[in-house]
Chain A
Amino acid sequence: MKTGSMRYLIKEGFNNIRGNFSISLSSVVILICCLFLTGVVVVISAISNQALRVVEAQNKITVYLNSDIPESDALLIGSKIQEISNVSECNFCSKEKTMEKFSYVVPADVFDLLEGHNPVEPSFGVSMKDLSKYDETSNELKGIEGVESITDCAEWAKKLTHFNNAFSYVKICIIVMVILVSLFIISNTIRVTMYSRRREISIMKSVGATNLFIRVPFIVEGIVIGLIAAICASGALKIAFELLLRMIKDLAPVVSIFEGPTWSLYSAFIGMGMLCGVLGGTFSIARYLRTEGGEVFG
């Protein structure tokens, strides 16, 4: 196709959007919502994966003692823990110290409600020499008198893995749904444009325009709608993630380690938006040209 013709066809594609501005705008808005939803799902999945990696990197078990246990007894339990052959390190964290840690992340008015009472349990942070002996060590720890419960990273890792596996199915379903909805929206928008231009298409057919020539402006229209939606959705996702991060940063400083939407996600958005535009445009115009769009005399 010649450059002059291509320029004319691209211009016609933009004219299609201008000619059906309200429908094009509503399509862009719906697509932004669809892509934003996909982005949220992808970011949640990425954060969950990052959290899993962080948890897996730690091999610490937290051993909680009875809350009313005196500190001297607690230190005795500590020496019993040290005696376990697979324990490499054992650090005591008193009720007061734990409370102090909480004070950094929990608002002060929560402490007022406690009226000086300290409900937290003293604990030991226990590191293991050999992670393969995890279950044995964990059972030995549970068997020590005065130990209330143990919370270990492996449990969290298991929970996170379960969540990740379940969420990956949800993620795939949502992405497939979003792609289908996007294709449907773009095809419908282009069909509306086609019907509003059916007279022009019939004239084009009568004077011998090729099907490719008739198709290109509609494909351009689809690409432009998809591209605008992808750019807006990327921007919205970035802003939303940063706002959320700013809001919860004070509550949980640890969230700052999570990486939000990346450039690869934005690129995927743009690719997906454009692909939906190309496919939506191609399918709808091909179907139209096969049926009523092929008529000259009508």
Chain B
Amino acid sequence: MIKFQNVSKVYGNDTKALENINLKIDDKEFVFIVGYSGAGKSTLLKLLTHEETPSSGKIIVNSVDVVSLKKKQISYFRRTMGIVFQDFRLIDKMSVFDNIAFAMRVTGVPEKKVKERVPYILGLVGLQDKGDRKPVALSGGERQRVGLARALVNNPATIIADEPTGNVDPALSYEIVELLNEINLRGTTVIMVTHEHSLVKRFNRRVVELHGGKITSDTGKINSKALIKDEFKKVPPFQANKRAYKIKNASSHSQKVEVSK
């Protein structure tokens, strides 16, 4: 569970980025954070990842008081979340496989586990045949899926997506959010910052709107179980089966996925 209690953030030049934010996100929720530029969306994410600390208030993530974390604890805390960036942040000289493996290697995961886990995650995002390609050889949507795979590979409790559809065309945007939706349905909390109202409308999920550093509206929690049924109604049976297979197997990290063609 993520909890913001009376959180305010004022930057050095007296800019009020966030003002008295009270927000509670339950486990396994999918939340869209929307708002215009300068509304405080990025500051909210920075506070959540401890890149910034609040000027006042408390932030609790899975019973951990984020504000009082010691310097050495921050890196371990960040391992509980996966971050998806708008600009993908892939390393061009590395292959797709190595880009994903990189996230595991830097946290000291043994190479044997890396070799087991990465193909599984690649299958999960539908890039099982593209592990040896370089990011430049991929489309925008595919690159973002690599970014998503990297965020997922360490099995985080929360995925934070900072405008993940900002650099892809509308059709692929849908695909990316669909993938995040799938990840959420298998039990991962997803917080997605976006400008795209069309996407927000299409995926009937909780929406928190920020304006001038304050929460101006919050649709509240949406029943995920009801959503799963709705989601399955929307897609053809074959796709639904494929998704069910992925969701069922997602909890077993060592298992390799064989995605139907």
Contact = CB atoms under 8 A, between A and B. Distances in A.
A262 to B, nearest CB: 43
B79 A296 contact: no
Contacts of B110: 2, 4
A8 B111 CA distance: 10
Nearest to A210: B75
Interface string B97-132: 000001101111011000000000000000000000
A204 interface: yes
A211 B111 CA distance: 21
Contacts of B210: none
Interface stretch (B45-53, B196-204, B227-235): B45-53
B42 interface: yes
A200 interface: yes
Interface residues of B, number: 28
Contacts of A295: 51
A189 to B, nearest CB: 20
A200 B91 contact: yes
A213 B106 contact: yes
Interface string A190-222: 000000000110111111111101100000000
A296 B51 contact: yes
Given A5-B108, A206-B49, A208-B77, A297 B89 contact: no
A1 interface: yes
Contacts of B75: 205, 208-211
Given A4-B110, A200-B91, A296-B83, A207 B49 contact: no
B261 interface: no
B77 A199 contact: no
A271 interface: no
Nearest to A204: B106
A294 interface: yes
A208 B42 contact: no
B185 to A, nearest CB: 23
SS class, residues of chain A in contact with chain B = helix
A297 B84 CA distance: 10
A156 B196 CA distance: 89
Which of the listed residues A2, A200, A214 has the most CB atoms from chain B within 10 Å of its own CB?
A200
Contacts of A213: 106-108
B41 to A, nearest CB: 10
Contact of B78 (A2, A4, A8, A208): A208
A179 to B, nearest CB: 30
Contact of A208 (B46, B79, B105): B79
Contacts of A296: 46, 49, 51, 78, 83
A1 B89 contact: no
Contacts of A211: 71, 75
Nearest to A197: B91
Contact of A206 (B42, B71, B83): B83
B105 to A, nearest CB: 6
B143 interface: no
B150 interface: yes
A231 B42 CA distance: 50
Interface in B32-86: 42, 45-46, 49, 51, 71-72, 75-79, 82-83, 85
Contact of A297 (B42, B71, B77, B82): B42
Nearest to B112: A4
B116 to A, nearest CB: 15
Contacts of B150: 203, 207
Contacts of B79: 207-208
Contacts of B49: 206, 296-297
Nearest to B162: A297
B188 interface: no
B111 A207 contact: no
B51 A4 contact: no
A71 B105 CA distance: 91
A297 B51 contact: yes
B154 interface: yes
A201 to B, nearest CB: 10
A203 B135 CA distance: 15
18 contacts: A1-B108, A5-B105, A5-B108, A8-B105, A202-B89, A203-B103, A205-B75, A206-B83, A207-B83, A208-B76, A208-B107, A210-B76, A211-B75, A294-B51, A296-B51, A296-B83, A297-B85, A297-B162
Interface of B: 42, 45-46, 49, 51, 71-72, 75-79, 82-83, 85, 89, 91, 102-103, 105-108, 110-111, 150, 154, 162
Q: State the 3 A-B residue pairs at the shortest beta-carbon distance, nearest first.
A: A208-B79, A209-B106, A208-B78
Given A202-B89, A207-B154, A209-B107, 14 more contacts: A1-B108, A203-B91, A203-B106, A203-B150, A206-B49, A207-B106, A207-B107, A208-B77, A208-B79, A209-B106, A296-B46, A296-B49, A296-B78, A297-B51
